[in-house]
Each structure stands twice: as structure tokens, then as C-alpha cells.
């Protein structure tokens, strides 16, 4: 069995060698310390098997060979008994790209976390459950894993509407002067929505604001069994905040969890906020580009001129500039010289 060319016909353990070689190749292709070590242990076992003149028939036969450890012997036994190697089939059916996509589908998991878990040997969502492989999820990631399918599916717009119709009167019961509007894909008229985006603000002409409203609203929505889990809650009361969570239609058996975002903004910025959170994101990019070409800057607070940025750190503003338009979407379109577009037309 020492030459590759004639091993097919003469080696009594060729089926075993073939499977171990495939597994070795997979580990070799992964440049992690751990995989390099595994590839090496298969190389040793394969070399021994090639020079073995008799058929290996059991775990005992295998583990008796020099260079074959306990774990490799178990794999050899599986190949002898079933003709297959589950580990290999698994590795083949779950390549890195597939696993990366699977893991980043968990709310709160980014590329670096997904890669780290992959390198720890995790390949399936099952591998991430119950602290297997020593992998620990954050509380938010736990929620993301538990409701993986719900969070990764879109809801019919009628469901977003039903949920919003539960929420709006509760908000108005806290303060009937609130401005409560649904934005995002729903406002653009899409037939299905990935989440529900709700804007809350209040006309401050009477000297009052929506300060503290979101906190009270969230509590009431939890009590009404509309909100079910918090993913990111603002830690202080502010006029400009963002909340992310899960919700469902209350009192309906089997109602699925849905993603929901609440945004609050100042009364003055409501138009800019509506424009930004209605999207879509490509439309927003084209509007920002238009603003930049005119020497302006557009964000969720308004359209600004004379913004001075730090040349070596563009995200830092040395002067926040003066506001040109922010109260209505129409004003912003007008100043930019862009013909008015209804929300459903704002797709690029
Ligand atoms: N937005 C943006 N850039 C981002 C994220 C969001 O401009 N990186 C804006 C445009 C989006 C809006 O915020 O339309 C709402 O964000 P969503 O992620 O909720 O997106 P949509 O509501 O448009 O789509 P979906 O149905 O998937 O929620
Ligand atoms: Mg949305
Ligand atoms: Mn959203």
C-alpha cells in the first residue's frame, strides 16, 4: 500500500483511507491552529493505514496501530460499520459561507462572532444551544437564537397594521397630543415588512415635550402583552432615542414574534426623521448625495449647511452648521430641488 498509484487495488483499508483523506483536506483548508493539528493527526493515521497489510475490522484493531488515537479509531470504526462518516458529510454540507450566513442571521451576531464560533467548531444552530463547545451567547443573542425563524421572516403588511392599531391608541392614551407614525417599508406600501418602524414626537408649541413618554409606553406595551422581548432599550430619557424589540399580536395562539423599532425625535426634526426612516436606504443615499453635491449635509435631524468636519476624522463635526429644513419632508425636497415623491415612489 505504499504507492498512491496502485493502492486502489492492493490496499485492504482503502475505503477508510479515502474518507480520512477527505476529512484531512477539509481541515487543511482551514487555517486555524486547531485544524492544522487535526490535519496532522489524520496524516499520521493515513500513513499507518497505507502500510498496514491486513484489513482493520474493529475499533481495537485501529487503536492498536501506531499514530492512531482514540478519536480517529472511533471514526475508523464508524466507516467500517456504516461505510460512511457523519462528520465528513456534515463538513461537506456546511461550508464556511453557509455557516457564516446561518450564524449572522442570529440577531446580535456579526461577522467576527460568527467566524469565531465557526473556528470553535460550531456548524449548526444546535451547536450553539446549551453552552456546547464552550460557546456563550449574550442575552440578546439568546433571544435571536430562540426566535431565529420568526426574526428572519417577513410579516404581511396587514399584520404590521394590526400591531400598529394596537399600539397607537395606547400611545395616545399617555398623551393625546403625540405624533405617532409608522414608517419604513410599511409607509412605502410594501406588501410585506421585515419589521415595524414607529416614530414618536410631540408638538412642543405649548411648552411640553414627549420626554419620558417612550419609557411609559414600553411598560404599557409589555403589560398589554404586545411587546415580548427587549433587544436594545435606551438607558436614559431623551427626546431622541431608539428602541429595538420583539412584539406580537396579543391573545392570538401561535402569533409569531415580530421585530419592532421605536424612534423618538424632536418636533423640529420630525420631517427629516420621517424622510430618513421611510427610506428605502438607496433612496436615502441618493438624497444624501444630492445634498453633498450642493455643499449640504442630510441626516435624520435635518438638512444642514456649513457643517465643518475634521479633515482627518470625517465623522467628527467641528461645527454642526445651520439648519436649512427639517420640519417637513416637502421642505427638504424643495431645498434640494428634488421633485416631490410619495413614499411608495421612493425606491431606487
Ligand atoms: N435606513 C438607512 N440606512 C440604514 C438603515 C436604515 O437609510 N443602514 C433607513 C432606510 C430604511 C429605514 O431606515 O428604509 C428603516 O430601516 P429598516 O431596516 O426597518 O428597513 P425597511 O423598513 O425599509 O425594510 P424592512 O421591511 O426590511 O424593515
Ligand atoms: Mg422596517
Ligand atoms: Mn427597522
pLDDT digits (tens, 9 = 90+) for 64-94: 999 899 999 999 999 999 999 888 887 766 5
133-137, 160-164, 248-252, 270-274: the lowest-pLDDT one = 133-137
185 Cβ closer than 6 Å to some ligand 1 atom: yes
Given a contact cutoff of 8 angstroms between Cβ atoms, the answer to whether 62 and 48 are in contact is no
Query: For residue 318, how far is its CA from the centre of ligand 2 (angstroms)?
Result: 32
Nearest ligand to the C-alpha atom of residue 278: 1
- Helix residue ranges per DSSP H, 84-156: 86-93, 96-104, 111-119, 125-128, 139-146, 148-151
- Helix residue ranges per DSSP H, 224-325: 270-278, 281-293
Q: Is the pLDDT of residue 9 over 60?
A: no
Give catalytic residue positions: 75
Q: Is the pLDDT of residue 228 over 80?
A: yes
Among protein residues, the one with the nearest Cα to ligand 1's atom 6 is 281
Place of cell 399584520: 159
Q: What is the band of 38 on the pLDDT scale with cuts at 50, 70, 90? A: confident
Average confidence (pLDDT) over 96-109: 90
Average confidence (pLDDT) over 188-197: 97
Distance CA 78, CA 252 (A): 48
Exposure string of 179-197, with b = 16+ CB inside 10 Å and e = fewer, is ebbbbbbbbbebeebbbbb
Average confidence (pLDDT) over 231-235: 90
Nearest ligand to the C-alpha atom of residue 188: 1
pLDDT digits (tens, 9 = 90+) for 196-219: 999 999 999 999 999 999 999 999
Question: Is 279 exposed, middle or buried (CB count within 10 Å of its CB: 0-12, 13-18, 19+)?
Answer: buried
Query: For residue 200, how far is its CA from the centre of ligand 1 (angstroms)?
Result: 17
Question: Is 219 exposed, middle or buried (CB count within 10 Å of its CB: 0-12, 13-18, 19+)?
Answer: exposed
pLDDT of residue 3: 46
Given a contact cutoff of 8 angstroms between Cβ atoms, the answer to whether 309 and 318 are in contact is yes
Q: Which atom of ligand 1 is nearest to the CA of 154?
A: 26
6 vs 319: which has the higher pLDDT: 319
Query: For residue 137, how far is its CA from the centre of ligand 3 (angstroms)?
Result: 23
Distance CA 287, CA 201 (A): 23
Q: Is the pLDDT of residue 323 over 90?
A: yes
Query: For residue 263, how far is its CA from the centre of ligand 3 (angstroms)?
Result: 9
Task: Compute the Cα dihedral for 336, 341, 347, 348 and give only its sign.
Answer: negative
The set of cell numbers assigned to 95 is 461550508
- How many residues in total does the chain contain? 348
184 Cβ closer than 6 Å to some ligand 1 atom: yes
Distance CA 138, CA 117 (A): 13
Among protein residues, the one with the nearest Cα to ligand 1's atom 13 is 277
pLDDT of residue 41: 85
194 Cβ closer than 6 Å to some ligand 1 atom: yes
Query: For residue 119, how far is its CA from the centre of ligand 2 (angstroms)?
Result: 33
280 Cβ closer than 6 Å to some ligand 1 atom: yes
pLDDT digits (tens, 9 = 90+) for 280-299: 999 999 999 999 999 999 99
Q: Which atom of ligand 1 is nearest to the CA of 197?
A: 19
pLDDT digits (tens, 9 = 90+) for 111-124: 889 888 988 889 89
342 Cβ closer than 6 Å to some ligand 1 atom: no
195 Cβ closer than 6 Å to some ligand 1 atom: yes
Residues β-bridged to residue 192: 156
pLDDT of residue 5: 45
pLDDT of residue 334: 98
Nearest ligand to the C-alpha atom of residue 260: 3
Average confidence (pLDDT) over 57-62: 95
Average confidence (pLDDT) over 148-172: 98
Amino acid at each position: 500500500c505504499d504507492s498512491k498509484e496502485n493502492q486502489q487495488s492492493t490496499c485492504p483499508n482503502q475505503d477508510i483511507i479515502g474518507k480520512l483523506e477527505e476529512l484531512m483536506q477539509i481541515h487543511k483548508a482551514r487555517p486555524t491552529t486547531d485544524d492544522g493539528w487535526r490535519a496532522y493527526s489524520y496524516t499520521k493515521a493515513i500513513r499507518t493505514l497505507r502500510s498496514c497489510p491486513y484489513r482493520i475490522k474493529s475499533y481495537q484493531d485501529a487503536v492498536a496501530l501506531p499514530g492512531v488515537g482514540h478519536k480517529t479509531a472511533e471514526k475508523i470504526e464508524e466507516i467500517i460499520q456504516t461505510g460512511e462518516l457523519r462528520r465528513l458529510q456534515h463538513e461537506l454540507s456546511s461550508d464556511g459561507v453557509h455557516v457564516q450566513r446561518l450564524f449572522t442571521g442570529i440577531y446580535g451576531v456579526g461577522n467576527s462572532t460568527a467566524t469565531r464560533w465557526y473556528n470553535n467548531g460550531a456548524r449548526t444552530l444546535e451547536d450553539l444551544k446549551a453552552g456546547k463547545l464552550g460557546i456563550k451567547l449574550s442575552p440578546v443573542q439568546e433571544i435571536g437564537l430562540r426566535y431565529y425563524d420568526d426574526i428572519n421572516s417577513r410579516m404581511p403588511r396587514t399584520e404590521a397594521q394590526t400591531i400598529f392599531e394596537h399600539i397607537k391608541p395606547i400611545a395616545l392614551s399617555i398623551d393625546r397630543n403625540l405624533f405617532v407614525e409608522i414608517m419604513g417599508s410599511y409607509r412605502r406600501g410594501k406588501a410585506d415588512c421585515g419589521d415595524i418602524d414607529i416614530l414618536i414626537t410631540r408638538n412642543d408649541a405649548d411648552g411640553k415635550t414627549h420626554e419620558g413618554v417612550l419609557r411609559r409606553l414600553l411598560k404599557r406595551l409589555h403589560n398589554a402583552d404586545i411587546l415580548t422581548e427587549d433587544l436594545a432599550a435606551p438607558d436614559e430619557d431623551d427626546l431622541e432615542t431608539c428602541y429595538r424589540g420583539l412584539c406580537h399580536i396579543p391573545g392570538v395562539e401561535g402569533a409569531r414574534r415580530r421585530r419592532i423599532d421605536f424612534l423618538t425625535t424632536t418636533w423640529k426634526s420630525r420631517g427629516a426623521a420621517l424622510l430618513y426612516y421611510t427610506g428605502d436606504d438607496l433612496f436615502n443615499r441618493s438624497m444624501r448625495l444630492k445634498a453633498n453635491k450642493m455643499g449640504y449635509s442630510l441626516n435624520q435631524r435635518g438638512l444642514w449647511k456649513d457643517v465643518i468636519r475634521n479633515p482627518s476624522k470625517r465623522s467628527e463635526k467641528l461645527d454642526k452648521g445651520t439648519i436649512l429644513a427639517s420640519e417637513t419632508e416637502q421642505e427638504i425636497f424643495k431645498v434640494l430641488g428634488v421633485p416631490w415623491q410619495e413614499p411608495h415612489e421612493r425606491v431606487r
